[in-house]
Amino acid sequence: MKVGSTSFPYTSRQQQGDALTLKSRRRHLRKVLITAFVLFSAFASFSQQHLAPYQQNKQLPSFKIQTSGKGVFSSNQLKKNTPVIIMFFSPGCDHCINQFNDMVKRMNDLKHYQIVMATYQPIEELAGFNKKYNIAKYPNIITGRDADYFLPPFFEISNFPHFAFYNKQGKLIGTYEGNLSVNNILAKFK
């Protein structure tokens, strides 16, 4: 071969093998990239389609909670044309107790809202909470045990307290996990 020639034929079998290996690596890389793109697209499509139950139907859900007096309170018993605050809590949760105490201090501002405080804890713990905090003196508060464990998966609850806010028509306004000032609670309904 002449020096300075632009054509370089393979001079050895090893060079030919290296060229074939490079081509096969490129093909393999192309296949990997296409597969990754397809998987990413499928995952992105699936994640956009997954909506929690409360996001699929914005209407106040039908639920039942067991009251500490061994009765059952149903969402059908809520007053019509009155906004609803659902607070999922635990009677032994410090954040929940602090939230409740903040709300009690401003109960005059919250008296026109129905507050449903639901827990999954044993009914004895709920009864102790009701007695300790004299829940009976607040006619707009209903406490109960979610014995069917309906609310946590419905709202995808992962932290306490968890709030769900419904307007007078029973339509979802929003949800919130964690402590929330009473001013922020009231602002949800404006």
Residue 23: per-residue pLDDT? 72
The span from the first CA to the last CA of the chain, in angstroms, equals 86
Mean pLDDT of the chain: 87
Which residue type sits at 38? V
pLDDT greater than 70 at residue 41: no
Tokens 């059908």, located at residue: 76
Local structure of 120: helix, strand or coil: coil
Tokens 């793109």, located at residue: 37
pLDDT greater than 70 at residue 57: yes
Query: In sequence order, what are the residues at sequence separation of 6 or more whose Cβ sits closer than 8 angstroms to the Cβ of residue 171?
Result: 58, 59, 60
54-187 belongs to CATH 3.40.30.10: yes
Residue 11: per-residue pLDDT? 59
Which residue type sits at 24? S
pLDDT greater than 70 at residue 1: no
Instruction: Find the range with the poorest average confidence among 36-50, 63-77, 113-127, 161-175.
Output: 36-50
pLDDT greater than 90 at residue 139: yes
* Residue 189: exposure state from Cβ atoms within 10 A (0-12, 13-18, ≥19): middle
State pLDDT tens for residues 85-132.
Answer: 999 999 999 999 999 999 999 999 999 999 999 999 999 999 999 999
